[in-house]
Amino acid sequence: MSTAVNTQNSAGVPAALLNAMNPKTKTRTSVEEEQDKFMTLLLTQLKNQDPLNPMDNAQVTSQMAQLSTVTGIEKLNASMSSMQSSYQASQTMQATSLIGHGVLVPGSSATLADGKAVLGIELPAAADKVTVTIRDGAGRAIHKIELGQQAAGTLPLAWDGKTDGGATAANGQYSFDVAASSAGSAIKAGTLAFGQVGSVSTGASGVKLNLTNGGSATMADVREII
């Protein structure tokens, strides 16, 4: 006479599946394994020490301190990793809110389309004279924008495509540079390129803003949202 073994619970779920989904054994971390090895080694040393020349208390304390240090570093690494993941998730959410918006990021190129181009400059200090020079593909200066006195900070600019000769520049890519000074001393000003955020991607290097003009930038690169 054979005996049937019930391999399912009252809900009809196979016991093998339940065991696989609810393992009874806890996965041990590398630190826990090292702690076990250390304690095993220490107990072995204590059991087999010379009764006439026992281990020095300071030596045991030192070994315990080393184990505590290793454990603390592992916990710190785990905490930092968790914080980094949370920070990246938060930064990703912030970055997605920029999709469809224009941003000014470090760069020296400007795209002229139908008489419209947006660019920007960044001044580390106030200046009493600021000049922006727009150049064509060959590097020739075709238009200068005199801005006069400007406070420190980011300054967005618009170019209507007009050259100093009165002509209208063709659509396309142009470069520009900036010269700034205060009381006759030059100020190292930065140039900012305009781009529209088309999408956001994440990876080992962090959160990246993908611009519709083919470029990319990080959240830290954004100087102004337009």
pLDDT digit of tens for each residue in the chain (226 aa)?
444 444 455 456 666 665 665 655 555 556 667 667 767 776 776 677 666 666 666 666 676 666 667 666 776 666 666 665 566 667 778 889 999 999 999 999 999 999 999 999 999 999 999 999 999 999 999 999 999 999 999 999 999 999 999 999 999 999 999 999 999 999 999 999 999 999 999 877 788 999 998 889 999 999 999 8
Residue 192 domain-assigned (yes or no): yes
Could you tell me if residue 11 is inside a domain? no
- Predicted pLDDT at 2: 44
- Report if residue 163 sits inside a domain: yes
Q: What is the DSSP string of 135-201?
A: E-TTS-EEEEEE--SB-SEEEEEEE-SB-TTS-BPPSEEEEEEEEEEETTEEE--EEEEEEEEEEEE
Interior/surface letters 102-137, b for 16+ CB within 10 angstroms, e for the rest: bbbbebebbbbeeeebbbbbbbeeebebbbbebbbe
Q: Is residue 218 domain-resident?
A: yes
Residue 168: partners with Cβ closer than 8 Å, 6 or more residues away: 115, 161, 162
Among 218, 194, 223, 196, which Cα is nearest to 92's?
218
Structure confidence at residue 51 (pLDDT): 67
The number of domains in the chain is: 1
- Output the pLDDT for position 25: 56
State the residue range of the domain holding 125.
102-225
Regarding pTM above 0.75, the answer is: no
- Asked whether residue 120 is assigned to any structural domain, the reply reads yes
pLDDT of res. 145 = 96
**Is residue 197 included in any domain, yes or no?**
yes
Tell whether 47 is covered by a domain. Answer: no
Q: What is the CATH number of the domain that holds 134?
A: 2.60.40.4070
Q: Is 61 domain-assigned?
A: no
